[in-house]
């Protein structure tokens, strides 16, 4: 495959493959405000669409699946795709965080404690739609000390469902009823 530290002609295509699949921090990060979206799955599209309504906000979509990040970024202005596997390349995650104002994690909830830990270390605010886990709750004082805000449970479920439940509670109470359990 190699000779004298270089790929032989039959295997030079490997260098192009590695380049195409390598993680790169690219894009126009000149926007006044920047949001880093972690994940490019189905939930990400409405979030990116909503965020890009703000013409002063730049959005970066980071995903371990380059094709998903590329597709999502192609649909919205001021949106850049980045190939990133946060487990294998936490150093690149840190670099990205340092150039953004907020991280919106749409990754599986099991990854949120690690994302929060890095947000705290990099002093970057974090938002996620997932429920508040004991691990995240345990980081509250660290987040306060770092001067950042970590917002959980803001989405449809969890999130809006909480407001709907509260509305139901108020309706019951305003009608003279009492909520005994929830």
Distance (Å, whole) CA 162 – CA 157: 8
Catalytic residue positions, numbered? 157
In the numeric block, the tokens 């000779």 are attached to 3
User: Which spans in 52-129 are helix H?
Assistant: 66-74, 90-98, 112-122
Starting at the edge strand found earlier in the chain, the sheet holding 102-105 runs 79-83, 57-63, 33-38, 102-105, 125-128, 150-151
Residue pair 49/109 in contact (Cβ under 8 Å)? The answer is: no
User: Which spans in the chain are helix H?
Assistant: 13-21, 44-51, 66-74, 90-98, 112-122, 134-137, 140-146, 161-174
Q: How far is CA 167 from the centre of its chain?
A: 30
């Amino acid at each position: 495959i190699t000779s004298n530290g270089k790929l032989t002609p039959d295997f030079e295509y490997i260098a192009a493959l590695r380049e195409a699949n390598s993680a790169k921090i690219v894009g126009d990060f000149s926007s006044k405000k920047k949001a880093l979206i972690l994940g490019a799955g189905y939930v990400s599209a409405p979030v990116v669409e909503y965020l890009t309504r703000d013409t002063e906000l730049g959005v970066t979509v980071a995903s371990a699946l380059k094709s998903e990040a590329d597709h999502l970024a192609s649909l919205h202005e001021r949106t850049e795709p980045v190939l990133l596997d946060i487990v294998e390349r936490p150093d690149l995650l840190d670099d990205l965080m340092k150039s953004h104002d907020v991280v919106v994690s749409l990754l599986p909830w099991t990854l949120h404690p690690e994302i929060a830990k890095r947000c705290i270390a990099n002093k970057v605010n974090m938002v996620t739609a997932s429920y508040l886990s004991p691990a995240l709750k345990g980081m509250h004082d660290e987040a306060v000390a770092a001067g950042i805000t970590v917002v959980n449970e803001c989405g449809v479920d969890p999130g809006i469902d909480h407001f709907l439940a509260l509305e139901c509670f108020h309706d019951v109470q305003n009608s003279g009823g009492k909520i005994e359990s929830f």
